[in-house]
Structure 1
Amino acid sequence: MYFSIMAASASSVPVLGQCGFYVEKKKRFCKMVVRSGKRFCGEHAIMEEGGSSRRIVCPLDPKHTVSEDKLDKHLKKCNNRSRAKPVYYVENINAGVADGQKMLQQVSLCDFSRMQLESLVNKLKSAFTGLQCDVEDRVLSHPVLHEELHNPKNGVSAYKHLKQQSSILGHLEAMGLLGNGRCFVEFGAGRGKLSHWIHEALKTQDYPQTGRDLQLVLVERCSTRFKVDGKHQDVGVHFERLQVDIQHLDLSKVTFIRQKNLPLVGVGKHLCGAATDLALRCLLETAERRGGTKPPQKNLRTSELAAEPDSGPAPDGVDVVAGSDSGLGPVLGLAVALCCHHRCDWLHYVGQQFFLQRGLGPEEFSAFCRMSSWATCGRRQTNQNRISLRGEDEEHEPADENDTVAGFLSAPEREHFGRLCKLLIDCGRIHFLQNRGFDSKLMHYVDSQVTLENMLLTAQPRTQSSHQG
């Protein structure tokens, strides 16, 4: 560690009040603030001359250390200490059922022979025989983001995110979902930017007023820095963050959602892999099992939707009553930007029935998940000088391939079949939504130059979407 301190150039010095430890990997000094009269922060205090306190790894989280003589005090306030689970935490409530099938580990395409790869490609082609699953090119925007999109202070990465957020809001508006008197649930919220712009749009535009109540629920399993939640303190607006994995979230047990019983709108921007399936179960399937929410079965005004206690027979013979026991209002629709199909999981996947009907099972699903990464990484060169075409601000794993894959399929072919794998997985999600009385669509909501993961999944109750048509 002493070498790390000396590795900094003579002209490189820490900022006043900043730790003097030079982080070799990041080529900069540690940014932690130090106590008065000290040269190093608590993490690097062992470098302090005359320091007597030994640093040890925290038993709750090996990513940080703590002074040995202060361990007991630290364990009481460590961010990774055990905490009581919130009332809406119900373990694995949205995990799904495997239909008795044995769960498989994610496979590597490098382990497949050419014959196996040919068989998979043939099965993929056969699965699309007679299948109607069109994708529309529909790039929209919303005026509330116009000024920010033309702000010269925004860099390339910020511009890409703004373009996506603008199009998602445009689709929400086109579907008639952007309005007050609703509960917007943003799955995989991160910093909460999408909810932020939804709120800004509803403040500045003359949208239908069904009452002053507006709920924006941000669901994110990780602690997130630079959140925008604190900017929203308007009267009548409930801006709430739930730090919980979607897999374990029971919306019907969230107190403030039960109290208002507002119609629900699900949204998400780049909801990775299985998180999309978990969100669909959380919004639709779980509430059905608990005798709760369903899509409205007739054309209603927004004011009627919030107050309607019963909207007729449930789709597919499911005998449920909206808002009876679950405390959830009707689901008005959803708009979710998809990505990272290679991170899907058969256990959580909502389209199991769709796959089984086409003679496909967990083995093929697992292989197609890996092949789906060809869509974003398939153009790269093999062997030497490999080139990734992934977006600068998106995180996508490279396609795992070997000489067998490269010799069997050209780069354009790999990209084509990768996109077919993604589309087939998404068609299973549409099948799931249709079985619950929703009309669902897939569309390219931004240009591929903005992001290669440019697919948006939308859904509305069948009668409502026909009315919007």
Structure 2
Amino acid sequence: MAAPMPGRCGFFVEKKKRFCKMIVARGKVFCGEHATMEGGVSRRIVCPLDPKHTVSEDKLDKHLKKCNSREKPKPVFYVENINAGSADGDDTLRQVRLGELSRSQLESLVEKLKAGVKGLQCDVEDNVLFHPVVQEELTNPKNGDSAHKHLKQQSSILGHLETRGLLGRGRCFIEFGAGRGKLSHWIHEALKTPDFLKSPDLLLTQGDLQMLLVERSSTRFKVDGKHQDPGVQFERLQVDIQHLDLGRVQMLQLKKLPLVGVGKHLCGAATDLALRCLLGAPRPKDGTEPPPKRLKTSEPESTDQMSESGALPGPGPGPGPGPVLGLAVALCCHHRCEWRHYVGQQFFLQQGLGAEEFSAFCRMSSWATCGLRPTNQEHRLQDTTNLRGDDEEHEPAEETDAVNSFLSSSEREKIGRLCKLLIDGGRLHFLQTRGFDGRLCRYVDTQVTLENMLLTAVPSSPS
């Protein structure tokens, strides 16, 4: 390109071998980013709040007062690290790197893993369910492969909510890691019955419906703002789950509807933070963690605690929002788990395992889904470099020569699955200590996603 396009910046971007395409002001040659090329223009510097953009040096003070990256007042429901685990030992805890381990150390880890999984009292079955409310969208030819995969997952999650008795009105669904809010959208669609729409008076019998969406980042193309049905209240909180105190959310305090936690692919530590947020966590002996929160499990003292919808509350809270009826969370990215936030620390310690083994198992868990590359010996048998079969983003699996020397790709995949199962076993143990019956199942086929494990829980029987 010999010259810039008309009305566009005249700065030549060497890296891209073309002129900048930004529109310039009338009478100007360069855009705002490259205005320093013109004489008499103030030098542009990197914004100290966000290095992703620049600002004129002489306008820095004015910019800092309105920059979108400036620190904003914290909402009332923000309580720093309320759902985080104890920070004791974090400074000395060294993250295990598989590349630094010898073959004998790796073999020892595998033996510890197999011994820990052997004692697990949980059966993981294939249980792919379906909900008819998604059928029309599944047959829509405008949806591509990626949209169909997400719809199948959402349909199965709805089916499991219904099977566990959690899909109904008169309760509040809290979607952790909501993103665009599609899971909440389909829960709302499933509970939008024709009879209810014809007669709003049925609010008295069917109960209200609340949808609380929790997402730490600003998200485009959200769908929750499109719902304006009577008796249904949508609210979105932009906050990290680590700092969310449900007891301070005004919407939950007003009607105290029973709570149902949901989530689709809560990556790594986000699952543990969501469990702590919903069910609370015990206070450590040193007192460094916040006290047990408003959703501490206990049996209801009387029938007066029944919700207006007639549903029996789960292990109930004290002051704060309503009781917890259950949860359904699609798990994901165990390699992003953190020992500090992990709710199954007690379970690991009972198995004779600690933080270092946990760190190693988290890294090894990625063998189950990320870039299952054959060893050199297996290249003769198969020419496959990626067996994932989905379009979700995952970090590449960490592999070493020591690993490849005694483990085939299929063995690595099996070990990765066992690592995930052991980590999830700690979560089941945590749910049991809180008075819940937790279950794991493969809720969709591996052709849809290799991260196909669903964690559900409802209150245990009074027995």
Provide Cα deviations, 1:375-398, integer angstroms capped at 9, x if missing partner. Answer: 013631347998233354311111
1:429 is matched with 427
1:289 is matched with 292
CA contact (8 A) 1:309 1:323 kept: no
1:263 is matched with 258
Matched, 1:69 2:69: no
Q: Which moved more, 1:174-183 or 1:420-429?
A: 174-183
Which residue identity lines up with residue 175 of structure 2 in the other structure?
E
Q: Secondary structure at the match of 1:373?
A: helix
CA contact (8 A) 2:247 2:294 kept: no
CA contact (8 A) 1:390 1:396 kept: no
Distance 1:134 1:30, change over 3 A: farther
Query: Quick one: which of 261, 267, 270 aligns to 1:272?
Result: 267
Distance 1:380 1:28, change over 3 A: farther
- State the distance in 2 between where 1:340 and 1:294 align: 28
2:451 is matched with 453
1:249 is matched with 244
1:377 is matched with 370
Matched, 1:305 2:307: yes
Provide Cα deviations, 1:115-166, integer angstroms capped at 9, x if missing partner. Answer: 0001001111111233222111111122222121122222222221111111
Q: Secondary structure at the match of 2:399?
A: coil
Distance 1:60 1:115, change over 3 A: same
1:84 is matched with 73
CA contact (8 A) 2:444 2:452 kept: yes
1:318 is matched with none
1:362 is matched with 355
Q: Secondary structure at the match of 1:335?
A: strand
Query: Quick one: which of 302, 326, 330 aligns to 1:333?
Result: 326
Q: Which moved more, 1:113-122 or 1:75-84?
A: 75-84
Distance 1:88 1:148, change over 3 A: same
**CA apart distance, 1:342:** 0.5
Distance 1:139 1:185, change over 3 A: same
**CA apart distance, 1:435:** 1.1
Q: What does residue range 373-452 of structure 1 map to in structure 2 within 5 Å?
A: 373-377=366-370, 379-382=372-375, 387-452=385-450
Which residue identity lines up with residue 366 of structure 2 in the other structure?
S
Q: Secondary structure at the match of 1:451?
A: coil
Report the RMSD for the aligned CA atoms in angstroms. Answer: 3.5
Which residue identity lines up with residue 249 of structure 1 in the other structure?
L
Distance 1:169 1:119, change over 3 A: same
1:104 is matched with 93
- State the distance in 2 between where 1:435 and 1:76 align: 48
Q: What does residue range 27-46 of structure 1 map to in structure 2 within 5 Å?
A: 42-46=32-36
Distance 1:255 1:343, change over 3 A: same
- State the distance in 1 between where 2:143 and 2:8 align: 28
CA contact (8 A) 1:440 1:460 kept: yes
**CA apart distance, 1:449:** 0.6
Q: Percent identity?
A: 72
**CA apart distance, 1:416:** 0.3
Query: Quick one: which of 174, 179, 190 aligns to 1:185?
Result: 174
CA contact (8 A) 1:306 1:329 kept: no
TM-score by length of 2: 0.85
Q: Secondary structure at the match of 2:328?
A: strand
Distance 1:26 1:328, change over 3 A: farther
**CA apart distance, 1:431:** 0.6
Distance 1:267 1:291, change over 3 A: closer
Gaps of 5+ in 1: 1-5, 315-321
TM-score by length of 1: 0.84
- State the distance in 1 between where 2:176 and 2:109 align: 33
- State the distance in 1 between where 2:13 and 2:330 align: 37
Distance 1:416 1:79, change over 3 A: same
Which residue identity lines up with residue 405 of structure 2 in the other structure?
G
Provide Cα deviations, 1:439-462, integer angstroms capped at 9, x if missing partner. Answer: 111011111011110000000011
Q: Which moved more, 1:255-264 or 1:52-61?
A: 52-61
Q: Secondary structure at the match of 1:87?
A: coil
**CA apart distance, 1:233:** 2.4
Gaps of 5+ in 2: 197-201, 283-290
Q: Which moved more, 1:400-409 or 1:97-106?
A: 97-106
Matched, 1:174 2:159: no
Q: Secondary structure at the match of 1:116?
A: helix
Q: What does residue range 90-169 of structure 1 map to in structure 2 within 5 Å?
A: 90-97=79-86, 104-169=93-158
Q: Secondary structure at the match of 1:354?
A: helix
Provide Cα deviations, 1:393-417, integer angstroms capped at 9, x if missing partner. Answer: 3111111111110001111000000
- State the distance in 2 between where 1:324 and 1:158 align: 41
CA contact (8 A) 2:94 2:356 kept: no
- State the distance in 2 between where 1:278 and 1:162 align: 26
- State the distance in 1 between where 2:228 and 2:52 align: 35
CA contact (8 A) 1:370 1:399 kept: yes
Query: Quick one: which of 232, 238, 263 aligns to 2:233?
Result: 238
